[in-house]
Amino acid sequence: MHFAGKVWRLLVGIKDGFVLLFMLLFFGLLFAILTARPSPAQVREGALLLELDGVIVEERTPIDPLAALLAGSAPVGEYQARDLVRALDSAANDERITAVVLDLDRFLGAGQVHLAQVGEALDRVRAAEKPVLAYATAYADDGVFLASHASEVWVNPQGGAFVAGPGGNRLYYAGLLEKLNVNARVYKVGTYKSAVEPYTETGMSAPARENAQALYGALWEEWQANVKKARPGADLALVSGDPAAWVEAAEGDLATAALNAGLVDKLGTRIEFGERVAEVVGEDDWSEMPGSYPSTTLAAWLEENPWTTEGREIGVVTIAGEIVDGEAGPGTAGGTRIATLLDEALDRDFAGLVVRIDSPGGSALASEEIRDAILRHKAKDIPVAVSMANVAASGGYWVATPADRIFAEPETITGSIGIFAFIPTFEEAASSLGVTSDGVKTGPLSGQPDLIAGFTPEVDRILQASIEDGYNDFLTRVGASRNMTLDQVDRVGQGRVWDGGTARQLRLVDEYGGMEEALAWVARQAELGEEDWSPVYLGDDRGTADTILRQWLIGEEEAGGRDVFAMVSNQQRATVGMIILDAQRLLATSGIQAYCLVCPSPSIARAQAERGFDGFLRQVGAFLSD
């Protein structure tokens, strides 16, 4: 009876906790409604406000409300690139919008393809004779890139700019694993396949360094060319060549240094910036707060300007994030989830299919599952095009092989044709703790694979042979797709990563272009006129609850901006997150992997790290709540 009483009290406590939680949510929402300004989601005459407090992504990750509440911290904000472009293009032609405000105070970054895509849309707004005004306390590389497309760039006098360029260090754990007596068993094909190096080396190998230098060098050239074209007055040679002398010439004043180098146009506080915007778009009759101006948020604009479809449908399936087995996503490319989306659309009368890829790869099994589903659409004798975003490498290239035409941008990271498997075993660690293993075996494979006693030579040989066979499958698929021999594919394979420009020269890509070019090509192949088709994004069914929760959790987080020191200090959080992600990959990787380690851009890597940190906090929160 004593035990039953404890169980009953526990159940009552759980019930009371859920009642309290839902009451807090209810009254919180009620308070927000009662204290809101009139028609907060209404489109107003004035500025389109793009407050990018997070990262620009290909596909947004849904928020788990319970996990977010348990963690007690806001998730990283995410903004789909296609939503930003659609909003900017429609605002350019809407007489209610007289300017665009780009708030980059808490902008965490984006891949270069997305940056270029949004930058071009900002250029089209300016071509419509509507000013674009940008503001931030401090600009990092990706913020500088976007702001360079603005007609007027402001920075807080206490802030500045920090241009580092692509590249940097990552952590290596071989020494730690050796101290822990963990045996890192690696099975791979590809001289340049470096995804396992953090666990087997103490530093970057010579082939990996050679590949990374070529890749990052090409991306850095593209970055500088884009910024220089958008902002010819910027002295990038000074900023990137001798940054210490550049700052010292301004007597350590980072904001003045940014002004002197032509990265910004004016110094001013947020209130002064708001007053300047009000001069352009008019006074705000809803608010008397200093620096206020009439504006429309991105969410309100998209709500009033929904995606519409007319004519024949061209299906678009998005493969974004790491490719994994199962139902994961959106934001992560769960192979089963994406294959199901494609199969459920088989009975739709698509004029063609575009596969949008923004992935560094992952599970070879999941990649093949997605590839098979794409082939089932291709069997309907419709044109299939691939549009590569920031990254379409390793498994991301595997799923591109069914395409009739592959489009990529010069800044796209692709290739990495190679595979690996990584399995940690603990025979030395067990021995050091006094744990031994013994038993009766009827053959070389009895009891294998054994993570405690270690693998037999036969198991090692079998696993390596399986990897080599998988690599041959990869070469075969690429060769059939690109009309190349296996030797030709192998010469551009071996796990080597290429920028989009080089990949085109190597015949891994057909032509430059993004989604618009890929869709237009499919429409032409289907013999459709310009007004006779529209794209339909499979699985794009985000609910209102997710939008409200996202605005609630993210919109009020960190109301102020971050100066340069705060940006640098934030790397501690990102570093912890990266360690967590590396540990998860070490312990959770299953099956043959077609994954590219160096492929995500630095800004995306930082965002992934922050997600890893946030995910860790959520797990801790869930544990503590139990």
Q: What are 82's two structure tokens?
A: 């296609």
Q: Residue 414 phi/psi, 5° resolution? A: -145, -175
Q: Give the amino acid at 284.
A: D
Q: Give the amino acid at 565.
A: F
Residue from 394, 481, 601, 603 carrying the catalytic annotation: 394
Q: Residue 39: name the closest of 294, 239, 247, 213 by CA.
A: 294
Query: Which strands make up the sheet holding 132-139, listed edge to edge?
Result: 266-267, 152-161, 132-139, 97-103, 46-51, 295-297
What is the distance between the alpha carbons of residues 293 and 47, in angstroms, rounded to a whole number?
Answer: 8
Describe the chain by its helix, strand, coil percentages, rounded to 5.
45, 20, 35
Q: What are 79's two structure tokens?
A: 């903004």
What is the distance between the alpha carbons of residues 255 and 230, in angstroms, rounded to a whole number?
Answer: 20
Report which secondary-structure segment, H or E, holds 623: helix 602-625
Q: Is 250 exposed, middle or buried (0-12, 13-18, 19+ CB in 10 A)?
A: middle
Residues 6+ apart with CB under 8 A from 395: 323, 359, 360, 361, 362, 363, 364, 366, 367, 593, 594, 595
For the chain, count helices (H), then strands (E): 24, 22
Per residue in 522-541, is it b (16+ CB within 10 Å) or e — as a string? bbebbebeeeebbbbbbbee
Q: Is 228 a catalytic residue?
A: no
- Give the sign of the dihedral formed by CA 434, CA 439, CA 444, CA 446: negative
What is the distance between the alpha carbons of residues 388 and 518, in angstroms, rounded to a whole number?
Answer: 10
What is the distance between the alpha carbons of residues 370 and 388, in angstroms, rounded to a whole number?
Answer: 16
Q: Is 446 a catalytic residue?
A: no
Q: Is 439 exposed, middle or buried (0-12, 13-18, 19+ CB in 10 A)?
A: exposed
Residue from 130, 188, 193, 194 carrying the catalytic annotation: 193
DSSP state of 542: -
Cis (ω within 30 of 0) for the bond into 330?
A: yes
Per residue in 291-328, is it b (16+ CB within 10 Å) or e — as a string? bbbbbbbbbbbbeeeeeeeeebbbbbbbbbbbbbbeeb
Residues 6+ apart with CB under 8 A from 76: 54, 55, 108, 607, 610, 611, 614
Looking at 483-563, list the stretches that DSSP marks H as alpha helix, in order from N- to C-terminal side: 486-492, 500-505, 515-525, 544-555
Q: Residue 344: name the closest of 385, 320, 314, 376 by CA.
A: 376
Residues 6+ apart with CB under 8 A from 400: 355, 357, 386, 388, 392, 406, 481
What are the DSSP calls for 421-446, one per residue? EEEEE-HHHHHHTT-------SSTTT
- Residue for token digits 């000074």? 238
Residues 6+ apart with CB under 8 A from 266: 152, 153, 154, 155, 259, 276
Q: Residue 593: name the closest of 451, 423, 386, 459 by CA.
A: 423
Residue 517 vs residues 334, 367, 400, 512: alpha-carbon distances, Å:
26, 25, 16, 8
Catalytic residues: 193, 394
